[in-house]
Amino acid sequence: MVAKMADYAGACHRAALRADPVGSNPPFALRAGTWPRAAHGSADFRRGLAYPTVIRSAIWSKIMSRFWSPVVHSLSPYVPGEQPKQDGIVKLNTNENPYPPSPRVLAAIASATDRLRLYPDPRASALRETIAAHYGVEPEEVFVGNGSDEVLAHTFQALLKHDAPLLFPDITYGFYPVYCGLYGIRYEEVPLDAAMSVQIADYRRPCSAILLPNPNAPTGIGLPREAIGRLVAEHPDQLVVIDEAYVDFGAESAVPLVAHHDNLLIVQTLSKSRALAGLRVGFAVGQRPLIEALERVKDSFNSYPLDCLAIAGAVAAIKDDAWFQETRQRIMANRQSLVRALSGLGFEVLPSVANFVFARHPSHRGADLAARLRQRGVLVRHFQKPRIEDFLRITVGTEEQCSRVIALLRGLI
Ligand SMILES: Cc1ncc(COP(=O)(O)O)c(C=O)c1O
């Protein structure tokens, strides 16, 4: 048994090196999709946990520490996209905004440094009021956190842990199964249809809650607000969480539905459309009992998740609507040109309403293209996962960055 595990560990290590030839990610930080094909049939693997669970608990955890809490042995942490240390890389792998944040954000952060001696407002009232005014809700219907990842984490713990499974798409944001592992939440993955779209009807099955990103990641495909309304109405006794990380790039937000549905929670971020990934600010909008649940978890975890610089910067970002509108329009225009150019090179490009596109070429493997682009200084995201292993997820960059990736691809195919 141990020899077999060691074999798998070796195969996994080799798979990791193939996926990441310069070895920027440690081999034990593998995703389920990089495990050997032989493992793909197991129930644990389908839950996204198989080999990380087996290998870590049987080998790594023995080696690494006998002091770990039991849950740590089975964790399969999320592996974020690479953040290169060197300059001059065209970074189209983590869906950051290619344009800078509003100059008003920088000014607001500079003036908030006067308050660094003090703890920040634990309720972040100024930010909640600003978000509430912007979206036409009450401040008590807004929760804020240290990036939408933290808001989602609290949502999983506060609202998504029940006996029946949580449902989310089989191809979606890779952090969802990770939170399920962390909090011991049962889940089922609902397959996207053949066109890689979410079908609301596929969610008519026993569950405790439903979680959908809209637009979905990494496909970029969005659902109209009317479909979200139908989903929420069809499941009056289940919470529906919509992760709108990319909604500002052409999709329809479901925030206006919150007033009519006590089972709807919307999560958004300032990382993408407001160019503040480094500041770590996310928020949720929902009716008061939902927000109260999030506050309870937050206040049992960290009273001050947002520091005073983040609160000041985020307030300024939400208030500078002109800057927001201009940059998101530019990104949408760049997306259009990028899609046109990729299609011209023979790529199949999924219809994106996000700040990234998901595309594959009929005669080139996704892993090869990603590796070759990387050798030439352009990072895009590739997922070694069934159904999507030939796709590249390319963040919409500046005009120049998009031209660069197209010029390189033209030389490669
Ligand atoms: C679908 C989705 N939701 C949430 C997040 C988290 O964003 P952040 O924690 O930066 O707010 C991401 C990040 O890439 C994402 O892709």
Region 8-36: mean pLDDT is 38
Q: Ligand 1, residues 216, 243, 268, 276: which to mutate, most atoms within 8 A of Cβ?
A: 243
Ligand 1 atom index nearest CA of 281? 11
What pLDDT is attached to residue 36?
38
Give the pLDDT band (50/70/90) at residue 54.
Answer: low
Average pLDDT over residues 291-306: 98
| Model pLDDT, residue 55 | 55
Distance CA 197, CA 192 (A): 5
Domain at 90-97+322-412: CATH code? 3.90.1150.10
Nearest ligand 1 atom, CA 173: 1
CB 51 within 8 A of CB 27: no
Q: Does ligand 1 have an atom closer than 6 angstroms to the CB of 147?
A: yes
Q: How confident is the model over 397-402, as a mean pLDDT? A: 98
pLDDT of residue 17 exceeding 70: no
pLDDT at 63: 67
Proportion of the chain above pLDDT 70, given as a percent: 85
Q: Is 177 in the pocket of ligand 1 (CB under 6 A)?
A: no
- pLDDT attached to residue 65: 83
Mutate to test the pocket of ligand 1, among 96, 149, 355 (most ligand atoms within 8 A of CB): 149
Q: Give me ligand 1 centre to Cα 403, in Å.
A: 26
Confidence of residue 8 (pLDDT cuts 50, 70, 90): very low
Which band of pLDDT confidence, cut at 50, 70 and 90, is reported for residue 41? very low
Which pLDDT does position 64 carry in this prediction? 72
pLDDT tens string 360-375: 999 999 999 999 999 9
Q: Rounded to an integer, what distance in angstroms lies between the CA atom of residue 146 and that of residue 271?
A: 11
| 243 CB near ligand 1 (under 6 Å) | yes
How far is the centre of ligand 1, averaged over its atoms, from the C-alpha of 164 (Å)?
26
Give the mean model confidence (pLDDT) for residues 140-145: 98
* pLDDT for position 243: 99
Residue 148 beta carbon below 6 angstroms from any ligand 1 atom: yes
- Asked if the model's pLDDT at residue 265 lies above 80, the reply is yes
Is 213 near ligand 1, meaning CB less than 6 Å away? Answer: yes
Asked if residue 271 has its Cβ within 6 Å of ligand 1, the reply is yes
For 40, counting Cβ atoms within 10 Å of its Cβ (0-12 exposed, 13-18 middle, 19+ buried), the class is middle
The answer to whether 349 and 356 have CB atoms below 8 angstroms apart is no
- The CB of 269 under 6 Å from ligand 1? The reply is yes
**Per-residue pLDDT band at 267 (split at 50, 70, 90):** very high
- Of 45-59, 167-181, 309-323, the least confident: 45-59
What's the CATH code, domain 103-320? 3.40.640.10
**pLDDT top residue among 26 and 300:** 300
Distance from the alpha carbon of residue 244 to the mean position of ligand 1, in angstroms = 9
Token pair, residue 92, equals 């189209």
Smallest CA-to-CA distance from 200 within 175, 170, 237, 231 is with 231
pLDDT for the residue 10: 43
Please identify, by atom number, the ligand 1 atom nearest to the C-alpha of residue 95. 14
149 lines ligand 1 (CB under 6 A): yes
Cα–Cα separations (whole angstroms), residue 78 to 25, 31, 178, 291, 328: 12, 8, 6, 26, 28
The pLDDT tens digits for 225-250 are 999 999 999 999 999 999 999 999 99
pLDDT at position 58: 59
CB of residue 108 inside a 6 A radius of ligand 1 = no
Question: What percentage of the chain carries pLDDT values higher than 90?
Answer: 82
* Ligand 1 atom closest to 94 (CA): 14
Q: How many angstroms does the Cα of residue 7 sit away from the middle of ligand 1? A: 35
How do residues 167-201 score in pLDDT, each as one tens digit? Answer: 999 999 999 999 999 999 999 999 999 999 999 99
Residue 407 has pLDDT above 90, yes or no: yes
User: What pLDDT is stored for residue 66 in this prediction?
Assistant: 87
- Which residue has a Cα nearest atom 2 of ligand 1? 245
Ligand 1 neighbourhood includes 95 CB (under 6 angstroms): yes
pLDDT, residue 93, reads 97
- Domain residue ranges in the chain: 2-67, 90-97+322-412, 103-320
Give the position, in ligand 1's atom list, of the atom nearest the Cα of 148.
11
Q: What is the pLDDT of residue 195?
A: 97
Residue identified by tokens 């939408």 is: 148
What's the mean per-residue pLDDT of the chain?
Answer: 89
**How far, in Å, from the CA of 80 to the mean position of ligand 1?**
10
Give 61 or 338, the one with higher predicted confidence: 338
Q: Which two tokens stand for residue 324?
A: 């927001």
Mean pLDDT to the nearest integer, 265-287: 98
